[in-house]
Amino acid sequence: MEATSLEEFYKSTSGNAPSDIHKEIGHFDIFKVEELRAKARAGEIGEMVYNRRAYYKISIIRGRNKAEYADKEIHIEKNALLFATPLIPYNWLPQDDNQFGYFCIFTAEFLIQSKSGVVLDDLPIFQPGGYPVFQVSDEEASAIEGIFIKMYNELKSDYAYKYDLLRNYLLELIHYGQKLQPATLSHPAHTASARVLSLFVELLERQFPIASPQHKLNLRTAKDYADRLSIHVNHLNKVLKENTGKTTTDMISGRIIQEAKIMLKQTYWNISEISNCLGFEQVAHFSNFFKKQTDLSPLNFRS
């Protein structure tokens, strides 16, 4: 599994972290995909694979790939622009040896210093349910790569205000991705109903990811969410049904199943630990719930 902290990331890619990793408020760095893949082929580092990360990541990659984002699969034939957030895990699986491009990693604190006052998790590009992976044309890929090249060169410079300039380049990348999203995501309706839906989804996503077997869901039932939102459970159910076609329980169950699949595939926790942190009193209850939703037992899904 890939590193979950910056220190672990650098340990897995270059052996140690730069001495000034925490010198700047927040952190930013940029890498060439082909350089890291060459190190991986030489056995100097491990392949870049899945995990929840403690940092954000934006990549432009040329080559055939498959992205596993939460429980979804996206097949990339040529060029892809990828936005990764610490909230949602992903796996990037190269499908050929011709992999080129760049990626940058950064923390939320790095952009807080920007005069724009941007809050990353408020942006559609980094929100659950958004579009995190874009297949782009050769022309678009070249334009995006041009921004990465400017960042790559600037980071090596001795310009006193280079981090301010890097923040501007980073915001340019983020806005480039935002413009590629469907208009309905970039301009959400601000009706009372949409607000309730938005608050519910935000509250639901805050329960995840599950960080350790000792972590347990705080909100488990429709009433738990309605109480937290200070509305009647029937009203919450009506709003969700009208806007999504699903009941509150359906949406909670769907998100729990999504997290269960992630943990079964991407952690070494036993079934009992997964069952407990997802709020099931008995393993049998979890197994029955999982099989009802997927037609597979947790053990069969894991294998």
Gyration radius (Cα) of the chain, Å: 21
Sheet strands (E) in the chain: 28-32, 56-62, 65-69, 72-76, 79-84, 90-94, 100-106, 133-135
pLDDT in tens, 117-169: 667 777 778 776 667 889 999 999 999 999 999 999 999 999 999 999 999 99
Residues 214 and 93 in one domain: no
Please give the single-letter amino acid code of residue 299.
L
Q: d(Cα 58, Cα 293) in Å, to the nearest integer?
A: 33
Cis check for the bond before 213: say yes or no (omega within 30 of 0).
Answer: no
Residues 96 and 176 in one domain: yes
Residues 171 and 289 in one domain: no
Residues 64 and 131 in one domain: yes
- Residue 44 is predicted with a pLDDT of 65
Q: Which residue has the higher pLDDT, 210 or 116?
A: 210
Within its chain, how far is the Cα of 300 from the centroid? 26
Is residue 47 in a domain?
Answer: yes
User: Over 60: is that where the pLDDT of 2 sits?
Assistant: no
Q: d(Cα 28, Cα 246) in Å, to the nearest integer?
A: 40
Final residue in a domain of this structure, among 153, 186, 219: 186
Query: CB–CB of 58/130 below 8 Å?
Result: no
Query: Which of 26-30, 273-277, 296-300 shows the lowest per-residue confidence on average (mean pLDDT)?
Result: 26-30
**Residue whose C-alpha is closest to residue 50's, from 118, 11, 14, 3:** 3
Residues 33 and 179 in one domain: yes
Final residue in a domain of this structure, among 171, 186, 201: 186
Q: d(Cα 152, Cα 58) in Å, to the nearest integer?
A: 13
Please, which pLDDT band fits residue 45 given cuts at 50, 70 and 90? low
Domain count, the chain: 2
Is residue 1 in a domain?
Answer: no
Q: For residue 283, give both structure tokens.
A: 């393993």
Residues 38 and 59 in one domain: yes
Residues 128 and 198 in one domain: no
Residues 141 and 242 in one domain: no
Query: CB–CB of 50/266 below 8 Å?
Result: yes
Residues 118 and 33 in one domain: yes
- Residue 171, SS3 per DSSP: helix
Is residue 256 in a domain?
Answer: yes
> Hey, which residues does 144 pair with through a beta bridge?
none
Final residue in a domain of this structure, among 142, 166, 186: 186
Query: CB–CB of 78/85 below 8 Å?
Result: no
pLDDT in tens, 250-277: 999 999 999 999 899 888 899 999 999 9
Query: CB–CB of 293/299 below 8 Å?
Result: no
**Residue whose C-alpha is closest to residue 253's, from 228, 283, 219, 281:** 219
Residues 107 and 212 in one domain: no
Is residue 220 in a domain?
Answer: yes
pLDDT in tens, 177-206: 988 876 544 444 446 777 788 788 888 988
Domain that holds residue 27: 6-186
Q: d(Cα 105, Cα 110) in Å, to the nearest integer?
A: 10
- Residue 21 is predicted with a pLDDT of 45
Q: d(Cα 67, Cα 129) in Å, to the nearest integer?
A: 15
Query: CB–CB of 236/225 below 8 Å?
Result: yes
Query: CB–CB of 49/1 below 8 Å?
Result: yes
Residues 50 and 132 in one domain: yes
Q: Is 230 left (phi over 0), alpha (psi -120 to 50) or beta?
A: left
Give residue for tokens 């044309």: 137
Query: CB–CB of 80/61 below 8 Å?
Result: yes
